[in-house]
Amino acid sequence: MKKLLTITAVCLLALSACAKKPEETAEPQPASAEPTVEAEPVKYPPITALDEDGVKTLLKVYASVMDETFGAECDWNTPFKEDDVARYYEVKNFGNADELKEYLYTYVDEKLIEDTSFLNDFMVVDGKFCAVRGGRGYGYYGIDPTSFEMTGEDQAKVPFTLMGEPQEGSFAVIGFKETDGAWKVVSVQLPEGFN
């Protein structure tokens, strides 16, 4: 009988050891284990070098300021909506004015944007962010951002255009400045009679 009690006691001990909860037998995780978070890609990468590509990007953005599209991509042939006052074109590449400003301010000094019609050229219409076009002219004069000549370490001479056509012998002088490792357009001198 003693043998039977001893065997029963050993079996009960063995069964209780096997019946432990899974969390008790699981290996503990290190206290410092945190999920890895990937950095969000930069939406509008700043221009860190005033090389040919950097200058072309800055000039392209500033050309869109001059022609009053401000970098907005729209189907300019088909308005989203029209009324007696204006035509409204849905902006495809920005969801709101803050996104558009973030893009512009990455490449162009805020003061140059404030001196334009930017605030009047965009609004939300029926829940869609739209470019507004009224009766005034748009893009009357501008620059050709694909062609330029550096005339100093931080300025370029760029062909001036009227109604999209280059004006022979007419140039705009665009000044750049580096702040916190990023270059921006900070000054513009148009040909005589257009300032």
On the CB side of 195, CA atoms within 13 Å amount to 10
Q: What is the pLDDT along the chain (195 residues), one digit of tens a residue?
A: 444 334 444 443 444 444 445 454 455 555 555 556 666 666 899 999 999 999 999 999 999 999 999 999 999 999 999 999 999 999 999 999 999 999 999 999 999 998 888 888 999 999 999 999 987 666 688 999 999 999 999 999 999 998 888 888 999 999 999 999 999 999 999 998 886
User: Of 137, 162, 184, which residue sits at a domain end?
Assistant: 137
Query: Looking at residue 1, what is its pLDDT?
Result: 40
Say whether both 150 and 175 belong to one domain.
yes
Query: Looking at residue 117, what is its pLDDT?
Result: 82
Query: Looking at residue 80, what is its pLDDT?
Result: 95
Q: Which pTM value belongs to this model?
A: 0.76
- Residue 164, in any domain of the structure: yes
Query: Looking at residue 163, what is its pLDDT?
Result: 84
Say whether both 112 and 156 belong to one domain.
no
Say whether both 131 and 145 belong to one domain.
no
Query: Looking at residue 192, what is its pLDDT?
Result: 87
57 CB contacts (<8 Å, ≥6 apart)? 47, 107
User: What does the angle CA 57 – CA 63 – CA 69 come to, to the nearest 5 degrees?
Assistant: 110
Query: Looking at residue 92, what is its pLDDT?
Result: 97
Residue bearing tokens 């100093």: 152
Contact 118, 70 (CB under 8 A): yes
Say whether both 107 and 158 belong to one domain.
no
- Residue 23, in any domain of the structure: no
**Residue 182 sits in which domain range?**
139-195
Query: Looking at residue 108, what is its pLDDT?
Result: 97
Count of domains for the chain: 2
- Residue 85, in any domain of the structure: yes
DSSP state letter for 135: S
